[in-house]
Amino acid sequence: MRPACVVAGKVLEEIAAFIKPGLTTKQVDEFAAAQIKAHGAKSAFLGYRKYPCHTCLSVNEEVVHGLSTERELRFGDIVSVDVGVSYNGFIGDNARTVAVGGCGVLAQRLLDVTEQSLYLGIAAALPGNRVTDISRAVQDYVEGNGFSVVREFVGHGVGRTMHEEPQVPNFVDRKMDDKLRAGMTIAIEPMVNAGRPEVKILKDGWTVVTQDGSLSAHFEHTVLITDGEPEILTWPEMKLSKLKVA
């Protein structure tokens, strides 16, 4: 899993650095396709259940699975960039929301809270814990900051295929509460709305948006559960212990 996740992490960084006002999301997806190819990998999303793009690019009130189009990014937009690659038989999956040039105070707080909720979730990914320990860590932090977590989409085990057991919700759900064991690789991916949690799917059949039109953010890492601290496979330079997780 490590090499696939390293590539996924690098491609996400490259896309984040590329994004600027005036680009269309189609141009961003084309850039992403070139970077994925340059690393000798393949998009794990293209063709998955007939998904038509290389990455998911979700702007402002779009939550996840945004399709790339001729829409131009404007200064102040926020874009959730989700990158999954297939490399050497394994899948690496990660996402982050970036500001286009810069963004307002509310948007920035939404990004910060969502990112921090991911780190709190990762910190709970310990052997002997359960999935709900991750879910609770994310949900408590998000709701404590006045935002809401999306219910309809969840994190997941990831390995030779993109979606494996267990499901990893960002809210406590007793139906999804597997025990965590060392050696498991899971994608933890809080999707956080500034307003209410409800979402709907646009007529394109993919793009998920907030029902109330509020902003949404998405951060994701693929994580290896170990006997020690969890390893952030899509960000190998970072040790969890160096992140400020309460």
Q: Could you say which of 29, 61, 77, 82 contacts ligand MF3 (CB under 6 A)?
A: 82
CA distance 29 to 182: 35
187 lies in the site for Co ion, by CB under 5 A: yes
CA distances from 21 to 17, 53, 103, 110, 188 (A): 12, 21, 12, 20, 29
**Cβ 217 vs Cβ 80: under 8 Å:** yes
Kindly state whether residue 5 participates in binding Co ion, applying the rule CB under 5 A.
Answer: no
Q: For residue 65, state whether it binds ligand MF3 (rule: CB under 6 A).
A: yes
Judge residue 159's burial from the number of C-beta atoms within 10 Å of its C-beta, 0-12 exposed, 13-18 middle, 19 or more buried: middle
Binding mask 205-244 for ligand MF3 (x = CB under 6 A): ---------------x------------------------
Site for Co ion contains 107 (CB under 5 A): no
Contact between 187 and ligand MF3 per CB under 6 A: yes
What torsion do the CA atoms of 11, 17, 153, 1 make, to the nearest 10 degrees?
A: 20
Stretch near Co ion under the rule CB under 5 A, chosen from 8-16, 31-39, 93-101, 232-240: 93-101
> Does the footprint of ligand MF3 cover residue 48 (CB under 6 A)?
yes
For position 90 contacting ligand MF3 by CB under 6 A, the verdict is: no
Token duo for residue 3: 């090499």
Among 61, 77, 93, 231, binds ligand MF3 (CB under 6 A): 93
Q: Which stretch binds Co ion (CB under 5 A): 35-43, 124-132, 180-188, 234-242?
A: 180-188
Q: Is 15 in the site for ligand MF3 (CB under 6 A)?
A: no
The listed partner (Co ion, ligand MF3, none) that binds 56, CB under 5 to 8 Å by sort, is ligand MF3
Q: Does position 18 bind ligand MF3 by CB under 6 A? A: no
Contact indicator for 116, 240 with CB cutoff of 8 Å = no
**Residue whose CB is less far from Co ion, 103 or 207:** 207
Is the CB of 109 or the CB of 163 nearer to ligand MF3?
163
Contacts of 41 (CB under 8 A, 6+ apart): 4, 7, 8, 11, 85, 86, 87
For helices 105-123 and 131-144, angle between their N-to-C axes, nearest 10 degrees: 160
Confirm or reject binding of residue 66 to ligand MF3 (CB under 6 A).
no
Q: CA–CA separation, 134 vs 83, rounded Å?
A: 22
Contact string (CB under 6 A) for ligand MF3, positions 151-170, x = contact = -----x--------------
Contacts of 204 (CB under 8 A, 6+ apart): 67
Question: Do residues 6 and 13 make contact, with C-beta atoms less than 8 angstroms apart?
Answer: no
* Residues in touch with ligand MF3 (CB under 6 A): 45, 48-49, 51, 56, 65, 82, 84, 93, 95, 156, 187, 220
